Amino acid sequence: MLRTMLEYTNKLCLAPMVRSGELPMRLLALKYGADLVWTPELVDKKIIQSKRIINAELSTIDYVAENHQKPDRKTVIFRKHPKETGKLVFQMGSSDPELAVEAAKKVIDDVDGIDLNCGCPKNFSTHSGMGAELLKTPEKLCSILTSLVENVGKPNGKAISCKIRLFNNFESSKALIEKICTTGITNLTIHCRTPVMRNRQDPVWNFLPKLIPIIEQSGVSVVLNGNFQNKQDLKSIQQALNNDKLSIMFGEAAESNPSVFSDEPVLQSQIIQELYDISTKYYVFPGTKYMMLNMINGKSRYYQIIAKTKNFEQMGDALKNISGDINDSDKLFYTMNRDCQKAIFLKPEDLAAHLEKRHKRITGFFTAWDESTMLQDFDDEPTPKRPAEQQHQQQDTKRQKKQQKKKNKNKTFDTPIESVKA
């Protein structure tokens, strides 16, 4: 059968997000207009040790792992839905060419591309030399990509790509990118921050006018990531850089409300109901609760109501109460977005002004772009956290500790065995 290589140009993409980028989020993103969706990062050894199962009850492909403490339980580490066919990029964490190839071969028939994580700075990704640590070892990084291209991509007619962060020095960034582009990859995603920067800091676009042509001249497409907030941002940056092949990737904006892929994003009250409806069929309660709380402002009176729920039944009852409420002052009845982790709320009538503001910011930056200053080193030291962010982090930490205690006590796993049908 003739296979068509995945096309990455002029696309709206869902970023790979640990915990937030699971199947319910990907299905919602696709429903509202995402062209391509990335899975959360999965480590090569985890995939190699998993078992592929056709879940006839759900019409999904499940990769399940054994639970050594409870042999009668299974953990679904990756679930693929038919609606993702032709649009699904599997992100892998690896620091070893042989393991990367073995893992990629295992999933390649169920996905449309393999993406190597070379940019995440979090410890769960950088251990054993993976994630952003690969930026420090470009020879290893490129050897993994070359092995994936030659042993998985070409034989299967599938795209191999990677996602990186930049250095705060232009020549270092350029040298790395030039090496990566010789590996035969199809696409390069650039998160426009450095590994030490945090998402509360503005992305840095300074080097893009010089780097993008280098990448595209190598026959590699470009996806840009970092604080993009709405569908119109794609056209804005394409116009600003006079390049209609560029694509953009949504992370925090989609995590807050995956309907940002559409021309008319829906209210938080609607999107959390849709998340619930999908999750009750395809996902588990703890993960659903985590995603839902990211979609509800902490000051909303419904935040604590949802936070106190302990199962899908209780969550469903809480959502019924919300659907019958009309409270214009509660942020749940707005559309939430995020600007460098700062929550912003919009009513439908406010959207046009917000889009225009974004457009002016993007086009204004590149109109004023000057090579003599923009190619200089920039300061990438992390900025102090905002008070609201510190409070939010403290709340998250407390919630995570409670969830971990409960998990240790009850051993709650990703997906119960009864939902995994051979």
β-pairing verdict for 42-43 and 88-93: parallel
β-pairing verdict for 335-339 and 342-346: antiparallel
Tell me whether residue 41 is exposed, middle or buried, using C-beta atoms within 10 angstroms of its C-beta: 0 to 12, 13 to 18, 19 or more. buried
Tell me what pLDDT residue 114 has: 98
Domains observed in the chain: 12-256 (3.20.20.70), 268-333 (no CATH)
Q: pTM of whole model > 0.85?
A: yes
Under 8 Å between Cβ of 317 and 235: no
Tell me what pLDDT residue 73 has: 78
Under 8 Å between Cβ of 44 and 101: no
Under 8 Å between Cβ of 10 and 239: no
Please give the positions annotated as active site. Answer: 120
Helix (H) or strand (E) holding 142: helix 138-148
DSSP 48-112: HT-EEEEETTTTEEEEEEE-SS-TT-EEEEEEE-GGGTTTEEEEEE-S-HHHHHHHHHHHGGG-S
Interatomic CA distance for residues 399 and 393, integer angstroms: 10
Tokens at 132, concatenated: 């952003």
Interatomic CA distance for residues 158 and 113, integer angstroms: 6
From first to last of its 422 residues, the chain has per-residue pLDDT tens of: 445 789 999 999 999 999 999 999 999 999 999 999 999 999 999 999 999 999 999 999 999 998 776 777 789 999 999 999 999 999 999 999 999 999 999 999 999 999 999 998 888 788 789 999 999 999 999 999 999 999 999 999 999 999 999 999 999 999 999 999 999 999 999 999 999 999 999 999 999 999 999 999 999 999 999 999 999 999 999 999 999 999 999 999 999 999 999 999 999 999 999 999 999 999 999 999 999 999 999 999 999 999 999 999 999 999 998 876 766 689 999 999 999 999 999 998 999 999 999 999 999 999 999 999 999 999 999 877 655 555 555 555 565 566 556 555 544 334 433 344 33
Tell me what pLDDT residue 412 has: 39
3-state class of 334 per DSSP?
coil
Tell me what pLDDT residue 72 has: 73
